[in-house]
A and B are shown apart, each in its own frame.
Chain A
Amino acid sequence: MILSLVRLELAILRRDRRAWWSLLALAALVLLSFGAIASQAHRANAEKQAVSAAERARWVGQGEKDPHSAAHYSIFAFKPSPALAPLDPGVEPFVGQSVWLEAHHQNDMLYRPQQNASLLQRIGFASPSALITGFGPLIIFLLAFTLVAQDRERGTMRLALGAAVHPRAIVMSKAVAVWSAAAGLLVVPVTLAALAWAVLGGALGADLFWRALVWTGIMASYLALLSAVGIALSLWLGNARLALTGLFGLWILFALALPRVASGTVEAARPLPSSQAVRQQLAEEAPTFWSDEQAARNRALLLRRHGVSRIEDIPNPRMAELDLMERHSHAVFDRVLGGFYAKVASQDRLFATLGFLSPTIAAQAASASAAGTDFSHHRDFIDVAERYRRDLVNRMNSDGMAHRAHGAERHTNDQSLWSQVPTFAYPPPALGNGSSSALPAYAALLAWLVAAAILLAIVSRRLRP
């Protein structure tokens, strides 16, 4: 019964050109933005693969040399663009895409796509997610206004209420019609496009499929709660003009004002140190390690570790010292950079929690997490690249320490060692393994959905002509 009513409500929507063409225009923009990001990501991935292959060839072909020098010669690691970034690029445009992996340094990532962004991308409305979360409410409220406020103004609602066995049927069919029109045109086509894109690129796996499904669920839930709120508000506010003003105000509040307030609140409540301050903190650790007292402790540790009483009895004392220094730096990086990343994650968690203020905030945070483009996923790449760097440097140092070399002597190695280092490969984390900071956003979205359903139920019970 409800489905038949929904079909007729959809016919009313389709025949109202203003509302329907607005929806179609936004749907076209969503698909266009997907296409633009997907082709950009395809080009970038192809370039990254080509440069990665060249880098590997450069590493393997670097010639005979001291392994520690090889660790300094080192290699670039490239972050592949997440497969669902065309749905929601998240932090991708603002974080580096490659990192120089060398001994003693955990370098910053380089080449941020935003450096080459178009004007549309710079103002932040260039992705399907941004368009749906930003303009979806406006279109949905317009559809809700078309179905409810005009009905009431015209007098059709009075006839409907006189005919209805239960007013809930009127409210439900209108809400479902608005939701199905919006989700069917804004979310479903772009999700299918993303899956088709993944199939064409040979990237479709179970994880990607589930991520796409979760992303669809997030957007569909977001549109559902907005549909419920739009219908409820249109019914609750007495006349069409008041309803239009109220709905427009709610769009500004949800989609424009509160996300900016939330961002400002996060910056104020959980401020981040500047990257300069972080680098300074790292730099200040080095002299401590080479103070007289610490140097004596380092030497004692090396003697103990090698079971000798004199430095000269260690097979390759220079390499042993470099290895000790390298391993010390790991702890420093973990402490300083790990602390910094934890603060970023804490910011993300607070922003996601502020999704209880506006469903747009919740949808934005949850969307990036499902697409694998939030900071926690970027952090995963940083960690994988850093583990690779440490393994590479340790492997080089271990080879050096295993061979005698004193004073000006240098042990060297060649391609046989360099080729033992595996090619860098980055497997993105599986769904659910990389986004704990987004969990409050999922909870907020669920709370909004329940609240919107309750609001709709209350309004339908109090429905009067």
Chain B
Amino acid sequence: MSALRLEEVSISFNGGRAVDRLSLALEPGEVYALLGPNGAGKTTTLNMILGFLKPDSGRIHVDGIDAVADPLAARARTAYLPETVMLHPALTAVENLTYFALLAGRRIDPATARRLLGDAGLQEDAHQRRASGFSKGMRQKVGVAIALAKEARLLLLDEPTSGLDASAANDLSEVIRAASQRGLAILMATHDLFRVKDVAHRLGILRSGCLVDERDAATIGPIELEQLYLERLAA
């Protein structure tokens, strides 16, 4: 069973098509990078998968569950990291993880929370520190730990590398690879071509809501990817 399946999904805002008959599928452990410029429909697609937006037509299935008919059940199997992961600044990393895990219906003890934060790459000395001083990279690691705690089947990442320095972006790539190896299907919405080439198994290019190309990441080099991306957007 696919971890995520979109079939002919469309949605319009103010008379314009934001997403147009989008179809794609992700298998467990697969990392799919949805590429496209701002306004291409990437975040809108994620919002429809999360049930925050209802598509005008088409079907969305998360782990076999109809996400349009039962968005809450689908969301229970989905973890989501927005572009800017904002934690509660007054809570520590462990408390933040405990809080969001509880919202996800998982009760975790402090030892488990520390282990998950470690798995997500957060340094041990940050576990009991309040999140008010955390960098974006640190906050994202807590976000990944939330996804791990939720034991989700699908992880949605919205512009995960935006604003990260090279070291933090590398760390994130490692975390994504590790999560993928655990069997988590990952859909990344991004315009960071070079970073996704390292971690994604498949790449899709979205233009004005339409999926204009889809490739196996292993079959294309970074230069060709950039050329393909520019060609598809210019077409």
Contact = CB atoms under 8 A, between A and B. Distances in A.
A143 to B, nearest CB: 13
A12 B99 CA distance: 11
A16 B90 contact: yes
Interface residues on A, range: 20 to 34
B188 to A, nearest CB: 15
A464 B81 CA distance: 16
A170 B52 CA distance: 16
Interface stretch (A54-62, A81-89, A158-166, A447-455): A158-166
B66 interface: no
Contacts of A155: 82, 84, 86
A305 interface: no
Interface stretch (A1-9, A122-130, A349-357): A1-9
Contact of A5 (B52, B85, B103, B156): B103
A159 B95 contact: no
B46 to A, nearest CB: 9
A151 B89 CA distance: 10
B76 interface: yes
A159 B102 contact: no
Nearest to A1: B102
A464 B54 CA distance: 12
A16 B130 CA distance: 13
Contacts of A12: 88, 90-91
A11 B82 contact: no
A465 B86 contact: no
A159 B100 contact: yes
B90 A169 contact: no
B82 A162 contact: yes
B32 interface: no
A160 B103 contact: yes
B50 A162 contact: yes
B114 interface: no
A465 B43 CA distance: 13
Nearest to A17: B90
Given A8-B95, A8-B99, A163-B146, 11 more contacts: A5-B99, A12-B91, A15-B90, A151-B88, A156-B86, A158-B86, A159-B80, A159-B86, A163-B103, A165-B105, A170-B103
